Structure 1
Amino acid sequence: MKNDEPTVGRRVLLRTAVFLGIAAASGMLTGGEADPPAPGTPGSAGGPAPAAGPGNVGAAGAPGLNAATLPEKSYRLSPMTAESPARPPAAKPAVRTRPILELPPEARAGRAMVLTFDDGPDPRYTPAILDTLSRYGVRAMFFVCGEMATDNRDLLRRMASEGHVIGNHTWTHPLIPSLGRGALESEIGRTSEVVQQSVGEAPVWFRAPYGAWNRAAFEIGADLGMEPMAWTVDTLDWKEPGTASIVSRALDGAAPGAIVLNHDAGGNRSQSVQAVATYLPQLLAQGYRMTLPALPPR
């Protein structure tokens, strides 16, 4: 039996060595974590991922594991959170050298015309004009002065709610060429602010008082996102020539593409109120269609 003792001892030592080798390989002797793979090797951050399939080493380094058997946080990648591309700013209109005087040819189909009113809103006259437009289902453009608009914001809101277009006519109706650039920027900018505060949108059309334009007016208007508009038919209602005279000028000047100038403030506009109520149904009976201009391509 003594001859067998060395053999038994050798077997015990061999089994112990095998056990220690297996324990070291599985991480039991190093706290349960194997050394991370070297960069550039399969499974490392900088190396190619191993091919999927049975028997491959999973994300936790254990043979035979795959995404279906691992905890979610072990294999699910975080979604990319790159910022969305910024929206490009709205294109500003080109700086023109002359205002728009009439509708473009393609907009004249159906004998289209545009009615415009300057200098308001005035609570003595504007509501009656709005009533007439509503009676005939017509929309118009109102070029407002800031000093009138700021005290009559309810009329601005009515204009907007009834589908009319609100344009910018400066704050105090000055002669533009007599102003310095800073003063003109204030006249135009403050009026746009009042309109935006009142109806939620800034004007996109601008008209110079007296039709007196200069380079600065075109530049400032364009910088604020507005197109310049003039007119082709002046009813001369601002002179208070009598209702019949205003009606005659509106009817005589009617033509496809025409832009008609009226006033709803800036003086006694009772003649203007009566004239609009008189000539509007006649224009409609003649087959003219009152419309609103589309912004030119930008």
Structure 2
Amino acid sequence: MLKKIAGFIVFISICALLSGKTAMAEVYEVKPEDTLATISDEYGIPEDKIVNKNKLLSTALWPGQQLEIPSKSGFDEIKAPFLTTSKLSSSLPELFIGPRVSLAKLMSNSLDNEMIYMGNTDKKRIALTFDDGPEDTYTPQILEILKQKNVKATFFVMGERVTEYPERLKQIHEEGHVIGNHTWDHPHLPELSDQQMHENIKATSAEIEKVTGVKPDLFRPPFGEIEDRQAALLSGQGYRSILWTADSRDWEGLPAEEIVSRVKQDARPGVIALQHNYHASGPFETVEALPQIIDELRAEGYEFVTVPKLLDAKGSHSKINAFQKINAMNH
């Protein structure tokens, strides 16, 4: 009984640290001279962790803005719980809910249920993303530009358009771009029941897999609207919910120069840029803006990568080190 109680206390403590929702969470008020970089340097917290914690859709800050500063605490810094479980001769899952639970899965579920607005900032890389296709007007032009510029991008596609333009989706896949799920028909997710959301997304993934042979593990919510609970449900189904940190607002019919300006003003390592490869009617100048975005940001030293590549090192080292420490303490 004592072992169970001690295990429960340790488990709850680590869950609190993982969720970053400790009572001592610090809130910072942005000053006029502040940038993400200066705040990151001041607290020793990576920019992407600040962005993702605060769900920032832009890297631009404004005076008076309130930012929650993520805790530095992590498995790499937690020593007492490991010593405790070692002395008790049981792993945390065994102490709390039995030996059949994988600690790796437990950690993964705790760490990965958040939405992603920004990727790894270790390298000067940006991910270009395109929503709402495929179709036969703008998508072919965008693909040609990407091919000429030797850029791989990420396309978040809708199920109903995949059924209408399967060959275009196949082209996107065969040219080396990554494909993500953007629902079947672009609903407002908070208005759907869990079952409706599940069926909508499942149908889209099935259609994508039928055309490309690959089941997507990236998801982007329409309008950027998704509840934390819904993102957690999707995480449990193997999806990473991808938002953005630079919004071109090309869907508003902005001129190419303004689209370029909007993306460039938010450009920094780890940024995920939102554009579209579908537009129903009216002015739409993403095709004109795209070559300028690529050329001007490349001139500043940026590399363009897919979303998975942007995220490939995100959190991996801390998790691996944590697993190694736990295994070492329990064997």
Question: Would you say same fold, with TM above 0.5?
Answer: yes
Residues 125 and 270, structure 1, Cα contact 8 Å, conserved in 2: no
* Counterpart residue type for residue 299 of structure 2: A
The corresponding residue for 2:287 is 273
The corresponding residue for 2:187 is 174
Provide the rounded CA distance (Å) in 1 between the counterparts of 2:299 and 2:126.
Answer: 13
Aligned-residue offset at 1:149: 1.2
Provide the rounded CA distance (Å) in 1 between the counterparts of 2:174 and 2:238.
Answer: 22
The corresponding residue for 1:248 is 261
SS in 2 for 1:150: helix
The corresponding residue for 2:198 is 185
For the pair 1:156 / 2:169, whether they are aligned, the reply is yes
For the pair 1:133 / 2:146, whether they are aligned, the reply is yes
Residues 181 and 216, structure 1, Cα contact 8 Å, conserved in 2: no
Aligned-residue offset at 1:235: 0.7
- Structure 1 portions without partners, runs of 5+: 1-87
Which structure would you say has the larger Rg? 1
Provide the rounded CA distance (Å) in 1 between the counterparts of 2:182 and 2:141.
Answer: 21
For the pair 1:122 / 2:135, whether they are aligned, the reply is yes
Give the alignment partner of residue 94 of structure 1, picking from 83, 91, 109: 109
Provide the rounded CA distance (Å) in 1 between the counterparts of 2:257 and 2:121.
Answer: 31
Aligned-residue offset at 1:224: 3.2
Q: Which has the higher helix share?
A: 2
Residues 185 and 220, structure 1, Cα contact 8 Å, conserved in 2: no
Superposition TM-score, scaled by structure 2 size: 0.58
Provide the rounded CA distance (Å) in 1 between the counterparts of 2:232 and 2:196.
Answer: 14
The corresponding residue for 1:202 is 215
The corresponding residue for 2:305 is 291
> Does the C-alpha gap of structure 1 residues 152 and 207 become closer, same or farther in structure 2, counting only changes over 3 Å?
same
Q: Deviations over 1:128-162 (max 9, x none)?
A: 00111110100000000111111111111111111
Q: How many pairs were matched up?
A: 207
Superposition TM-score, scaled by structure 1 size: 0.64
SS in 2 for 1:94: helix
Provide the rounded CA distance (Å) in 1 between the counterparts of 2:151 and 2:109.
Answer: 30
What is the correspondence of 1:51-130 to structure 2 with a 5 Å cutoff? 94=109, 96-106=112-122, 109=123, 111-130=124-143
- Structure 2 portions without partners, runs of 5+: 1-101, 320-331
Provide the rounded CA distance (Å) in 2 between the counterparts of 1:147 and 1:216.
Answer: 26
What is the correspondence of 1:7-46 to structure 2 with a 5 Å cutoff? none
Residues 251 and 284, structure 2, Cα contact 8 Å, conserved in 1: no
* Counterpart residue type for residue 113 of structure 1: I
For the pair 1:228 / 2:238, whether they are aligned, the reply is no
SS in 1 for 2:164: coil
Provide the rounded CA distance (Å) in 2 between the counterparts of 1:282 and 1:105.
Answer: 19
Task: Tell me how large the CA RMSD over aligned residues is.
Answer: 2.3
* Counterpart residue type for residue 223 of structure 2: Y
Provide the rounded CA distance (Å) in 2 between the counterparts of 1:235 and 1:153.
Answer: 27
